[in-house]
Amino acid sequence: MLYSDLAGRWALVTGAADGIGFALARSFAEAGANIVLLDIRDDALAEAAAKLADTGVSVRTETADVSDRDAMIALADRLAADDVVPSMLWINAGVGAAAKLSDGKEKAIRWVYDVNLFGTIWTAQAFAPKMIARAGPAHIGVTASSATLVPIDGPFPLYAASKYATAAVGEALLNEMREYDIGVTILCPGLLNTGIWNSGRARPERYGGERQLDDSVGEYWRKAMTPEVIAGPVRETVEAGGGWCVVQTEGDTRDKFEARHTARAAQWTDLSHD
């Protein structure tokens, strides 16, 4: 798909109220796509829509929880009834929690996986069949993380593990969609200045409810690059037909990636010829 194909068509982005989702939505709007901004936060959606007013495209907002499969399918049906079927679907919604898998609270673990993993699957199930049925160029994007490329360490092992799973779903979709001529891009960005550190501000009650962190916690993220840096690499990958789009924002990501896979190769045991 070329970005010029987006003109006059619809692009839908989940987790679109800010951060990577909003940066992607703006890049699609600037290519002429009409935009559906989907997020769980009403107030943030209204602000995001206002920021796209200068693009001159149609913008509609939808409040939805991607972890709710029935709600996502109902939303896709309702949009299709309005003749809104995305030509560009970007599955971006994601949350983080500073919890360990070994002793983390059940609700925190379920929340991270229900959004990052199952939310990706439910969003694809809701919209991909309608994209397949609708003729014309189409593309699906999945936001994973550079954490899927390097060893899982640091203060967010639960998040990193969930993003490994997200990337695997993206790769599965890439292969599934080939027969329908729909490209799939798996975005693996490095650290960016987003609000993911404060994901708990929008946590539903069934997962423990809202949790606002002190603003000082976000200082580490605020020193990073802004999400707009991903727009160029994403466009190049989409227009090349999709695949992995790794945006390195930290200088040691490639070194960690290569060391990780070198170590794996050294531990390989081949019994296939025994």
Which residues have a catalytic role annotated? Answer: 159
Q: Pseudo-torsion of CA 155, 170, 244, 266, nearest 10°?
A: 60
- Give me Rg for the CA atoms of the chain: 18
Which pair of structure tokens corresponds to residue 5? Answer: 């194909």
Residue 41 DSSP code: -
User: 3-state DSSP call for residue 112?
Assistant: helix
**Distance between CA atoms of residues 125 and 66, nearest Å:** 11
**Distance between CA atoms of residues 14 and 93, nearest Å:** 5
- Residue 98, H or E segment: none
Q: Letter for the amino acid at 272? A: S
**Distance between CA atoms of residues 267 and 42, nearest Å:** 49
In terms of DSSP bridges, do strands 242-247 and 34-39 run parallel, antiparallel, or are they unpaired?
Answer: unpaired
Among 48, 58, 93, which Cα is nearest to 72's?
93
CA 60 to mean position of chain CA atoms: 19
CA 63 to mean position of chain CA atoms: 16
